[in-house]
Structure 1
Amino acid sequence: MLTSRDRILTTHVGSLPRNATLTDLLIRREAGEAVDKALISSEMDKAVREVVAKQKEAGIDIGNDGEQQRVGFQTYVPERMSGFAGESKRKVGRDFAETPELIEQFLRRFPRRGKISNAPQAQAEVKYHDVSQIKDEIERFRRCAPRGVFLEEFATAPSPGIVATTLQNAYYDSHENYLNALARELRHEYRAIHEAGLILQIDAPDLAMERTMLFQDLSDSDFLAMCDLHLHAINKAVEGIPRDRWRLHVCWGNWEGPHEHDVPLASILPILYKTTAGALTIEFANPRHAHEYDAVRKADWPKDLILIPGVIESTSNFVEHPEVVARRIAEAVAVVGDRERVIASTDCGFGTFAGREWVARSVVWKKLKSLREGADLASARLWGKKTAA
């Protein structure tokens, strides 16, 4: 995994907002409507070219296709795997159950969106069809982002746990067996990304977010045991992929809400340290978790692990001042104890689901530009001068 010895590098968590035309096509296709294949292919080409150019213009070092080719970061899975049908009945999260007006606000703000709480469920044995679709994604990205556009490239894939909690189990005799089946099948996608030469990012909000979602009724100790089970499934699924070729993203849910019941980072950090990934990407700009560097300081960040802290918040249209970004980066470096093992990033994605983008597209590019400017300020202070990577 790329690190820099003379400046702070920048990346983001993966999803970037889609344009209105592509959003409509993706939602229609997910709903089973007939969509012109040539049209959606053309729109994907246009969208990927645009987000690649916008990332480059903003100064992103480690970039991707912005997940323009997917309707959601994990809900696209039934397009590539058999065994899914019907509709999951996802629990209402505690934020929304305790503040029902948030649901009303949510529905007004996002009247047409991809499936989130009503994704299909596993009604038969899950099987990955083939890797043609992920290969097509990578090929389009490579066509739209020639070598040298980014210092390094990455691609995302969902964890077995977030698929299991979103596309819920109606077939396997236990959650653990369903989780293991998903780990076995998702491995095909993980390997395809790795073998294409991209950094694999596994998105695992289940390791934190599900405390207030599917597992909201568990005791703290039972949730941590479940978290450990989910982490083990990830490690099993990526066996054979070197630690420096994959990174793990953990978050508390990419929505604008109270987040009062979020599990503290200090509680899950010992489990996260069991990852075989080379880097952890964690929210730290989220107002509910901006203090959590203290947990890292107390838990002795491992010497062989890169920290990719969120220093840009992903649900607000405020554009962080570069000085704020620089201070957040400096705090991350202080708790890690090594400037070379910090890569500046966003808290989460900006286009988690088609039709549900909290931040305006034009503001996203301004936020990424501020990320670069803040990283440059931090670099000047950490190295004593501005230099090139």
Structure 2
Amino acid sequence: MRRLMPFVPVACTGPVLYVGLPQLQRDIDNLKLALQTTTCQGAFLPSVAPTGVGSNEFYGSEEDYLSAVAEVLRVEYQTIIDAGFSVQIDDPFLPDLFADRHLDNAAIHRRANAYIEILNHALRGLPQEKIRYHTCYIINEGPRIHDVPFIEFVRFMLRINASDYSFEAGNVRHEHEYHFWEQVKLPEGKRLIPGVICHASNTVEHPELIAERVGRENVIAGVDCGFSSQATYRTEVHPTVIREKFRALRAGPAKDD
């Protein structure tokens, strides 16, 4: 896969500060402008989880670094909500942790608990109904036989202070995992956003199957991940196919109306 631009690792070498308000306001203004011609019931802007902002070369510990990042990202989360939108926390790092072969299960669980505590600290006091959480497994097209099973980390995911949980479920390696919800009860007031169309396949899903997978209560039809799921990569799905996939996504739930 050829990159459009070189990948440059990000490292913290001084105190963490938030300097992105002008860029964030531009995104907010652009989204408000776009919504003037639609009748949608709501909209969200994505933001990164604290664990996704590079490595630490300044703070005395990883915990101190992530706590500092959480505090400044809270500014972004709050600003998006104050603008009238929901905020979606994009976090592929939690399932990545469960795939780390250098850690045993006890170490993985300790670190996962720390991740969740840090994110919940950043979200403290914010209206839970305005918070979505999105995570993914492996984002490229491939065999995917080594993906982290959903069951490994979903119980951790549900402890995050969000109202909606978006996750991959549309690719063939994970379509069976809806059975997990026969074992785990969704907490009151929460909703699921399973992926029902795959971002790493040029096959268009059928609206009938999408309709079967999306219930009337507490489930919103979603996408596994963004079709350009890493900005430095070329999308693996042709734009004409992307449009057809979204048409199927819209047509599927409409069958139950």
Q: TM-score, normalised by structure 1?
A: 0.62
| Greater relative contact order, per chain length (Cα 8 Å cut-off, separation 6+) | 1
User: Offset at 1:287?
Assistant: 2.1
Counterparts of 1:298 and 1:201, CA distance in 2: 26
Number of the residue aligned with 1:284: 169
Q: Which runs of 5+ in 1 are unaligned?
A: 1-105, 334-338, 380-385
Letter in 1 for 2:126: I
Counterparts of 2:68 and 2:101, CA distance in 1: 24
Number of the residue aligned with 2:144: 259
User: Offset at 1:327?
Assistant: 2.3
SS in 1 for 2:156: helix
Q: 1:298 to 1:257 in 2, by over 3 A?
A: same
Number of the residue aligned with 1:348: 225
Q: Could you tell me which of 235, 243, 246 is aligned with 2:120? A: 235
Number of the residue aligned with 2:236: 358
Q: Deviation string for 1:16-67 (max 9, x for gaps)?
A: xxxxxxxxxxxxxxxxxxxxxxxxxxxxxxxxxxxxxxxxxxxxxxxxxxxx
Counterparts of 2:244 and 2:192, CA distance in 1: 23
Counterparts of 2:110 and 2:150, CA distance in 1: 15
Is the 8 Å Cα contact of residues 243 and 276 (structure 1) preserved in structure 2? yes
User: Offset at 1:114?
Assistant: 5.8
User: Offset at 1:188?
Assistant: 0.8
Counterparts of 1:288 and 1:175, CA distance in 2: 34
Q: 1:113 to 1:369 in 2, by over 3 A?
A: farther
Counterparts of 1:360 and 1:271, CA distance in 2: 35
Letter in 2 for 1:144: A
Q: Deviation string for 1:150-184 (max 9, x for gaps)?
A: 22111000101122xxx222222322222111111
Q: What RMSD, in angstroms, separates the aligned Cα atoms of the two structures?
A: 1.8
Is the 8 Å Cα contact of residues 194 and 222 (structure 2) preserved in structure 1? yes
Letter in 2 for 1:367: K
Q: TM-score, normalised by structure 2?
A: 0.92
| Equivalent runs, 1:34-113 vs 2, <5 Å | 106=1, 110-113=2-5
Number of the residue aligned with 1:92: none
Q: 1:345 to 1:128 in 2, by over 3 A?
A: same
User: Offset at 1:130?
Assistant: 5.0
Number of the residue aligned with 1:11: none
Counterparts of 2:158 and 2:36, CA distance in 1: 35
Q: Could you tell me which of 236, 243, 249 is aligned with 1:371? A: 249
| Equivalent runs, 1:319-330 vs 2, <5 Å | 319-329=204-214
Identity of aligned residues (%): 32
SS in 2 for 1:292: helix
Q: Which moved more, 1:245-254 or 1:203-212?
A: 203-212
Q: Which runs of 5+ in 2 are unaligned?
A: none
Is the 8 Å Cα contact of residues 114 and 353 (structure 1) preserved in structure 2? no
Q: Deviation string for 1:286-341 (max 9, x for gaps)?
A: 22221211222211121221111110111111111112212222xxx3xxxxx221
Q: 1:281 to 1:114 in 2, by over 3 A?
A: farther
SS in 2 for 1:208: helix
Is the 8 Å Cα contact of residues 89 and 131 (structure 2) preserved in structure 1? yes
| Runs of 4+ more than 4 Å apart | none
Is the 8 Å Cα contact of residues 96 and 137 (structure 2) preserved in structure 1? yes
Q: 1:327 to 1:198 in 2, by over 3 A?
A: same
| Equivalent runs, 1:148-297 vs 2, <5 Å | 148-163=38-53, 167-212=54-99, 215-297=100-182
Counterparts of 2:66 and 2:3, CA distance in 1: 32
Is the 8 Å Cα contact of residues 138 and 147 (structure 2) preserved in structure 1? no
How many residue pairs were aligned? 256
| Equivalent runs, 1:291-306 vs 2, <5 Å | 291-306=176-191
Counterparts of 2:101 and 2:71, CA distance in 1: 27
Counterparts of 1:133 and 1:347, CA distance in 2: 27
Q: 1:261 to 1:221 in 2, by over 3 A?
A: farther
Letter in 1 for 2:223: T
Q: Could you tell me which of 128, 137, 148 is aligned with 2:18? A: 128
SS in 1 for 2:237: coil
